[in-house]
Amino acid sequence: YLFKTFLNISLRHGYPFSIIIIDIDFFKLVNDNHGHQIGDTVLKEFAQILKSNVRIEDTVGRWGGEEFLILAPGSDLEAAARLAEKLRKIIEKFNFTTVGQKTSSFGVSTCHAGDDEKSMISRADEALYAAKNGGRNLVKVENYTM
């Protein structure tokens, strides 16, 4: 619901709106090596880091598995990429319960004329894939062509 609302405001009024998809690098190994209870603790700690370091108007949610989504109304692509880089640096220095330091990969997209939820998510997903293919612990932005 919020995604659609922010998207509609952006399209109607030209207000910037970006999204960030975040994946915890090699999270499967946490569950495999330490069990699902520790995995759940790591997910909660990760979510708390995200929630504590975004703006009040941003929305953080679990996107599935070890992925999270940030809705960033009022942020253009550059501002969202800066936020993602800030989060990436905080996460890589954090000591997670039992597992120690973890890294994460980020994909960022912004709203363009004619966009819908699916197109924005698709571009953020492609950027996330590029971050993972580029060696992980990276922020990548959409490759947008009209």
Structure tokens belonging to residue 31: 């569950």
Q: Which residues are catalytic?
A: 66
Structure tokens belonging to residue 136: 């992980």
Angle (deg, nearest 10), helices 36-52 and 77-93: 130
Instruction: Point out which residues pair with 17 in neighbouring strands.
Output: 73
- As to burial, measured by CB atoms within 10 angstroms (0-12 exposed, 13-18 middle, 19+ buried), residue 94 is middle
What's the first-to-final CA gap in the chain, in angstroms?
Answer: 26
Alpha-carbon span 47 to 56, nearest angstrom? 15
Alpha-carbon span 137 to 135, nearest angstrom? 7
